[in-house]
Structure 1
């Protein structure tokens, strides 16, 4: 699977893309700690974090459309510049006395609105460098695995920076990471070749207008819901057993399972169509959530979470492959972003509901219910539209076609 990294131009774009994408893994925690340190209020810090998250989700499709239209170099650098400026301004605000709380909310919103979709952009680069089929699946797999590892290591790194210096420095480091990573990625030849359409995408080419795509997003809502509940249930179960320190290990087991799943998925030579794969993965994830809801010993619960995570990265990879199959090339960055948005929305909604269920009945019921929901939503897989075993070949366009 690592052979895809040796493709001409791959590492030159992929490594700086990972650096830039780590800002998303670090930014939320840096923002939370900086606002709390300045205001002395976790409530205010929570509001700022929520403003950042909601703005990021709401603006995601429009940012992706801008990349499809204007090309990666112009659009992504503009967004990264805006987000870096937002992080820097927030750092200055948290270090200044008597700043009105509304400024923290406003700057957090700016940071969310301007987050560059580096993951979706990198998948477009992978699509231009690889041939459809096993090679592209391997590329998407290693991309997903590395992204999982970013979200394991990112919070640890930024916490260490903040402990050693200050929350304001943590925000400045995040600003530097997103800006420098984006500039380095977009200066690569493979990114620069994706210059965009130069015009708006026609209504008929929009991802949500492609037959079956909305149903795929519905299925992935269930995947996101399991993700959201698992992230709430893990610390709740640890606390119930007077083992709060085990929370990190439980979440690491979940993330580690996802990384292993992504690696295995990239190695398998699967013949089933992408629609059937998505159905099997989502059903398996739902069943695993139901199973883990019945596990009581902490060690078995950790193993169960790893089993649930095993299907997370492959489900996302399959979603990206489906987007590559049924969405016109002119709007594939937007399509990839919709995949992420659906999963994030499912996770956010489920996290809110899980807290209520856990307080009243325990984590086991939250996991049982979300497993059943994922199983029900898996029925939305559009088999009739996704019979082909692999997406059609998409060759890297000539430079003259991109002008």
Structure 2
């Protein structure tokens, strides 16, 4: 599996991409603590992080479309520079006095709108370096595993930085990570070779016009729903047990299980198609969430979340492989981004809904509803469309843009 890292140009792009992507793993807590420090209001902090997440979801397809059209160096560097500047201004406001709350919401929207799609861009690079067989699956798997590890370490690292220094410093660190990581990634030869189409992609080649993709996105909303519920319910359970410090470890167990699942997924030689694979993974994840909702101790909850997490990365990898299979090469970044957009939309909606459910019925009910939602959406998998796409002409030619 690690052999894909030795492909010419792979590590030169992949390592700085991870640095840039670490910003997203740290940004949620950094923004939350910064706004909380300035306003002394959980409501305002929650609004700010909600605005950030919603803006990120709304703008994601258009950012990816810009990368496909204008190339990675132009589009990604512009986005990263703008987002880093937004974080810097937020850091300055965090340490200022008597700042109107609306400015935190405005800047949260700015950093959300301008988040560079480094994950999708890196998967486009992987697609240009690998063949459309087990090699690409292994590349997507190692990519997903490393991303999950970022989300294990990111919250722990940024929390330690903020505790040792200040919330403003945390935002400076996020700004540096996204700016330096993006510039270093796009300066690589493999990223520079993806110069974009320089023209509008035909309407029929857009990802959402490909048969079956919309139904895949509907299925992935349920996956995002579980992620969103866990992000809110796990800290709520820890707080109810007077163990707030354990919140990070609950989320780390969830992300760690996902990383392990992605590692195993990349080693398995599947005989089943992508459709049955996606359905089985979503059902397993939904059932796992339902079972976890019955666990009442922190230790068992951590173990249960790790088990549910086992299916997260494999589900996302399967989604990326589906997009790579049915979306034209001219829209690869956008296709991969739609997979993330669907999951992130599910996260945002579930996070908002989970808070209401937790206040009225408790964290366990939120986990139960998240699992039920994933199970209800799993049958939307477009088995026939995916079967036809997989049996069609191979789409494994490297990108030449």
Structure 2 length as normaliser, TM-score?
A: 0.94
Note if contact 2:127-2:399 (Cα within 8 Å) is conserved in structure 1.
no
TM-fit CA distance, 1:236: 3.2
1:392 is the counterpart of 2:400: no
Distance verdict in 2 for CA 1:32–1:351, change over 3 Å: closer
Q: Which residue of 2 aligns with 1:25?
A: 25
Q: Contact 2:54/2:348 (CA < 8 Å) preserved in 1?
A: no
Who is 2:106 aligned against?
106
**1:269-284 paired onto structure 2 within 5 Å:** 269-284=269-284
Question: Do residues 288 (structure 1) and 288 (structure 2) align?
Answer: yes
Give the aligned partner of residue 143 of structure 2: 143
How far apart are the structure 1 equivalents of 2:367 and 2:178? Answer: 35
Residues 129 and 348 (structure 1), Cα distance of their counterparts in 2 relative to 1, 3 Å cut: same
- 1:267 is paired with a residue of what secondary structure? coil
Map Cα deviations across residues 304-355 of structure 1 (whole Å, 9 max, x no partner): 2111111010000000000000011111111111111111111222222223
Question: 1:211-290 to 2 correspondence within 5 Å?
Answer: 211-290=211-290
Query: Mapping of 1:1-400 within 5 angstroms?
Result: 1-387=1-387, 388=390, 392-398=394-400
Q: Is the 8 A contact 1:324 1:391 kept in 2?
A: no
**Does structure 1 conserve the Cα–Cα contact (< 8 Å) formed by 2:23 and 2:174?**
yes
For 1:259 and 1:390, how far apart are their aligned partners in 2?
A: 31
Q: Alpha-carbon deviation of 1:132?
A: 0.8
The Cα shift of 1:359 comes to 3.1
Cα 1:369–1:48 change in 2 (3 A) is closer
The number of aligned residues is 399
**Cα distance, 1:166 vs structure 2:** 2.6
Question: Over residues 85-105 of structure 1, what are the superposed CA-to-partner deviations in whole Å (9 max), with x where a residue is unaligned?
Answer: 111122222333333332222
Structure 1 pair 54–369 and aligned structure 2 pair: CA distance change class (3 A): closer
1:52-102 Cα deviation digits (max 9, x unpaired): 221111111110000000000110001011111111122222333333332
The farther-off stretch of 154-163 and 15-24 is: 154-163
RMSD: 1.9
Kept in 2, the 8 Å contact 1:145–1:258? The answer is yes
Q: Is the 8 A contact 2:325 2:395 kept in 1?
A: no
Partner of 1:77, secondary structure, is helix
**Matches of 1:116 and 1:355 in 2, distance apart?**
28
When residues 369 and 46 of structure 1 are mapped into structure 2, their CA distance, relative to the original with a 3 A threshold, is: closer
After superposing the two structures, state which structure 1 stretch, 214-223 or 84-93, moved more: 84-93
Range 86-95 or range 105-114, more displaced: 86-95
Q: Which runs of 5+ in 1 are unaligned?
A: none
The Cα shift of 1:181 comes to 0.6
Paired with 1:260 and 1:194, the residues of 2 have a C-alpha distance of 31
Alignment CA distance shift 1:163-1:363 (3 Å):
closer
Task: Name the CA distance, whole Å, in 1 between partners of 2:301 and 2:168.
Answer: 38
Deviations 1:235-274 (A, max 9, x none): 3333444544433332222111111100000010112111
User: 1:154–1:296: structure 2 CA closer, same or farther, 3 Å change rule?
Assistant: closer
Note closer, same or farther for the CA distance 1:390–1:294 as it changes in structure 2 (3 Å cut).
Answer: farther
How far is the alpha carbon of 1:389 from its aligned partner?
7.2
